[in-house]
Amino acid sequence: MLIRRETRSDIDAVRAVTSAAFTKSDTSDTVGNANAPAPVEATLLDELRISDGWLPALSFVATGDRGEVIGHVVCTRGHVGSDLALALGLGPLSVHPAHQGRGVGLALVHAVLGAADAFGESLVALLGSPAYYGRFGFRPATEYGITAPDPAWGEYFQVRTLTAYQPTIKGPFKYAEPFDHV
C-alpha cells in the first residue's frame, strides 16, 4: 500500500471507492442497481471538490499493489468561532470494502493529520466514532470549548489539536459549505 496525494486522474476511482464504502449492503434496492442514487458521501465529495473549502494538498489516496485506489481521505477548510479561526474538517474517509480491516484507514488518517500539522493547521474536527478516532488523539470537541454544528452529535463530534493550536480557539465549528446540504 502507498499513501499519496490525490491527482486529477484519481477522481473517478475515488468516487467509486467512496460509493462502495458507503453503500448499505443490507438494502436490496441499492446493491447492484446502477440506477440507485449515489451515497450521500460520494455526492458530498463531488460538491466539496468545487467549493471554496477544497484543499487539494489535503486529499490523499491509498493505492494497492497494482496502483489501484483502495482508499481516500480529505480535510477541507472549516472555521471556529465568531472570528472564523481557521480549522479543518476531516471526511469523508473511505476504504473499499475488500480492503477494510487491513490498516488502510489508519494509514490515511495518519497521513492527512501529519500533512495538516506540517502545513501549520491548528485543529481537525470530525463527526465519527469515538472508539475509532480516539486512537488518533481525537477528543470530544466540548473539551476544547468547540461546539458541533448540531448539538445532537454529542461525543461523536470530535477535535484533534495540532502543533499550531491555541487554546483561545473556541466557539461553534463551521464545516465547508457543502456539508450544510447533508
- Count of structural domains, the chain: 1
Supply the pLDDT for residue 38: 86
- Mean pLDDT along residues 25-29: 49
Supply the pLDDT for residue 138: 98
Q: What is the mean pLDDT of the chain?
A: 94
pLDDT tens-place string over residues 116-164: 999 999 999 999 999 999 999 999 999 999 999 999 999 999 999 999 9
State residue 31 phi and psi, 5-degree precision: -70, 125
Cis peptide before 92 (omega within 30 of 0): yes
Instruction: Examine the pLDDT at 28 and tell me if it is beyond 70.
Output: no
Which domain CATH number covers 162? 3.40.630.30
DSSP letters spanning 100-139: TTSSHHHHHHHHHHHHHHHTT--EEEEES-HHHHGGGT-E
- Domain of residue 20: give its range: 2-181
Instruction: Examine the pLDDT at 27 and tell me if it is beyond 50.
Output: no
Instruction: Examine the pLDDT at 71 and tell me if it is beyond 60.
Output: yes
Instruction: Examine the pLDDT at 34 and tell me if it is beyond 80.
Output: no
